[in-house]
Structure 1
């Protein structure tokens, strides 16, 4: 391979050199006169002017360094041996485990999946979180973010979904994590017994920005391989996409690109969409489902990152005040599984409970304004309190069928059947009714409580 000399410019982590026949995304090695070697990736081509992002940063790079292009884009290790391992944002092992250099290497950020090979989403991913399973189902091959703000337990929610989700493989991608967050995920996956089917790619806040923008591509490349080659149902967890977008902005500014809204580059939408669209249910193989965290600075949903994300993804979970808000959350694919892959009463229970909870919020406003409350308002307030305790509490862990039964029980404790405005056949089948009193039960009860002589001489009326 030809070694190129004469670095023209060093701007932070960006190095510019003249070269021909180079591909976008190609890897390169920079060798200083002192002998130190740094890895870099081509991030811009302008004729024969090549811009490279140095993984380890531009500090210490000499203008007298030589550049050798490797002829291939970024690659990542893929084999069953990566399960239970931790890698950095560039795909290199950081857990001190066995050497994997001889394992298969696969390219990242390949072409999008042929639409002919995609299947329509139709399978439920159970999480045992009722605010997801009952009201906004997570569907296999879905792409959906968690919209939240700093200070909310979004990492705890993401880890819990990873632990409890009905998936074969968990691929975790952390971008700009603090060490405490990294330790939390690693320790949680290990202590809950899912680490053996998990692979982690972690970019810490102190790591190079270029690794941050590579992390999603590396994680998704591995996820696709598990889905296509091993027919696995893969759940990809990524946090935080706002940190990823901020990394894109930082590199764009260093390359003197003209910024768009709030300093982000004009291609933010297509960049995010390219990653999210890797979610797929492959014909004749497995699937990739993508669940991400997107923090909203200032709780502003019009911020460029959540705003663009909302146009790309199929709904969102809105986490605030330690609850998944039933009004701000939406799963656009839930209708593909509710009542089809779940019980026939699923849709009616979910819709009715949300309607009643909305009524409870209105009754709560009336109460706060000192209006007189009707009997119906009192029932709604009672229901709202039970709904928050039994379904919205962050620590509730219950299977879907049990949650539906609990929903019927909660409604029955507060309302009469005709007040629910539901189909009569569903009410007759699922609404909890008092058990019929049998004649022998009455006789037994009388014998246990009455005077024995009186019982023997007193006939028992037939109970109808």
Structure 2
């Protein structure tokens, strides 16, 4: 291990130093400042005689007299099953006052790409307890399904609700009632101290922390650290899933802050910017994270991702949601109008999509009527939404009796199906029962997307509804 005092330039989060040997890309670096403080960094670029180092803790205090040591290894995450219940900072160091981590092994945070041949197709249902997700855009084990939100919307409340409620229903009957075989990895990037306190209070109050590993990168932490946090979280998830057999749900918030960190580093390196100033390689960088979700043939565990991003200006054509939509298998869209109406959670099911849903709600996984009910609810709600626009022009009195039924259906769908609050955990049976109750307000002949046998079994006649 060689030590240099050859720093030539300091630019934002980057330090440039001259070297007389070959330095590996992503190699970990220790920088000792003149006042004795040691900071960690990572080699971002290496060329003959010169290296660029991104410093995790920020470059404050570093000057040309600082010493640079190259450790000869890439950044690694100490992994062990004992990480469950722990809270770590954005660099993977404990901040919960607990004992030091004694790892089973140390794993490279870049991870290993899953061989496409060895991937198992995702087709097993994860119950989040949220009707707008379970009923209409089902999350499937091994899927990557982002939440598209906006500034000021309650995406953090939804994230916490999913973190404490998510289960694998068919495994709840055996030895897994205590949830030990289902784990949550929560990676927060660039959140405020207030948000961090809310997260921790909720995790501790509900007991969700016992099955979770929390990584916290705060808004006043160095932006460079945000590029490391999701990789530490996913490395931990892969270990628990593929080595220990857990079904792991990874919640990453906020991916917009992660991409802003990429842009900041790119500007410091004086790179030629891509769309709206973001690096041209951002698609590749995001894909390296999102594609770490999945299942491996012959392994019990799985890694499912629920990344959250706030769309700048609520613009779904912005590079961050645009590229995310290309890589992932759908999206859950939070809606500002529904939020202003007090709907909790304010999920707009019409632009939302889960591309793997049909494979996850087959017979034996959820009720056999799930797919038909979902299709009919979508169609009826879309019809009601279209009629709302017409009402603004001609008035409700000009519409037919059937049109008015669809308008009433749309209102009730929002207020009874989507609306449930952040503390209500609905099983898939409860969600579908509500769906049938709403569909039963429409004439039977309008239910053209549901098998007749299912209509006979589940349709609630008006007389029965009155008695109930």
Query: TM-score scaled to structure 2, two decimals?
Result: 0.90
Q: Higher mean Cα deviation, 350-359 or 333-342? A: 333-342
Report the Cα offset of residue 34 of structure 1: 3.7
Alpha carbons 1:176, 1:203 under 8 Å: kept: yes
**How far apart, CA to CA, are the structure 2 residues paired with 1:394 and 1:265?**
40
Give the counterpart of 2:411 among 382, 385, 389.
385
Number of residue-to-residue matches in the alignment = 435
Q: Higher mean Cα deviation, 141-150 or 371-380? A: 371-380
Give the counterpart of 2:427 among 399, 415, 418.
399
Match of 2:211 in 1: 197
Is 2:323 the partner of 1:296?
no
Alpha carbons 2:417, 2:434 under 8 Å: kept: no
Report the Cα offset of residue 303 of structure 1: 0.7
Report the Cα offset of residue 430 of structure 1: 1.9
* CA deviation profile, 1:352-403 (whole Å, cap 9, x unmatched): 1111111212222232223401111121122122211111115164211122
**Structure with the greater alpha carbon radius of gyration:** 1
Structure 2 residue runs of 5 or longer lacking an equivalent are: 169-181, 340-345
Is 2:445 the partner of 1:418?
yes
**How far apart, CA to CA, are the structure 1 residues paired with 2:463 and 2:280?**
65
Is 2:281 the partner of 1:267?
yes
**How far apart, CA to CA, are the structure 2 residues paired with 1:435 and 1:420?**
19
Match of 2:323 in 1: 308
* CA deviation profile, 1:149-177 (whole Å, cap 9, x unmatched): 10100000011011111161100100000
Distance 1:95 1:135, change over 3 A: same
Match of 1:351 in 2: 375
Report the Cα offset of residue 435 of structure 1: 8.6
Say which SS state the counterpart of residue 143 (structure 1) adopts.
coil
Q: Higher mean Cα deviation, 219-228 or 71-80? A: 71-80
Pairing 1:67-216 to 2, within 5 Å after superposition: 67-100=68-101, 104-166=105-167, 168-216=182-230
Give the counterpart of 2:356 among 333, 337, 349.
333
**How far apart, CA to CA, are the structure 1 residues paired with 2:9 and 2:79?**
36
Is 2:374 the partner of 1:374?
no
* CA deviation profile, 1:410-456 (whole Å, cap 9, x unmatched): 222x22322322322221222124799xxxxxxxxxxxxxxxxxxxx
* CA deviation profile, 1:201-254 (whole Å, cap 9, x unmatched): 110000011111100100000000001110110000000001000000001101
Structure 1 residue runs of 5 or longer lacking an equivalent are: 437-464
Match of 1:224 in 2: 238
Match of 1:439 in 2: none
Report the Cα offset of residue 82 of structure 1: 1.5
**How far apart, CA to CA, are the structure 1 residues paired with 2:335 and 2:291?**
27
Alpha carbons 1:227, 1:282 under 8 Å: kept: no
Alpha carbons 1:339, 1:345 under 8 Å: kept: no
**How far apart, CA to CA, are the structure 1 residues paired with 2:203 and 2:308?**
18
**How far apart, CA to CA, are the structure 2 residues paired with 1:31 and 1:80?**
33
**How far apart, CA to CA, are the structure 2 residues paired with 1:94 and 1:101?**
15
Pairing 1:3-22 to 2, within 5 Å after superposition: 3-19=3-19, 20-22=21-23
* CA deviation profile, 1:188-209 (whole Å, cap 9, x unmatched): 1111111111111110000011
CA RMSD of aligned residues (A): 1.7
Report the Cα offset of residue 103 of structure 1: 5.7
**How far apart, CA to CA, are the structure 1 residues paired with 2:156 and 2:314?**
17
Alpha carbons 1:12, 1:59 under 8 Å: kept: no
Say which SS state the counterpart of residue 94 (structure 1) adopts.
coil
Say which SS state the counterpart of residue 413 (structure 2) adopts.
helix
Report the Cα offset of residue 102 of structure 1: 6.1
* CA deviation profile, 1:277-308 (whole Å, cap 9, x unmatched): 00011222200001011111111111111111
Alpha carbons 2:30, 2:41 under 8 Å: kept: yes
Alpha carbons 2:249, 2:304 under 8 Å: kept: yes
Alpha carbons 1:143, 1:289 under 8 Å: kept: yes
* CA deviation profile, 1:89-140 (whole Å, cap 9, x unmatched): 1111111111225663222112311223210001000011111111110000
Over 6 Å off, 4+ runs = none
**How far apart, CA to CA, are the structure 2 residues paired with 1:257 and 1:334?**
40
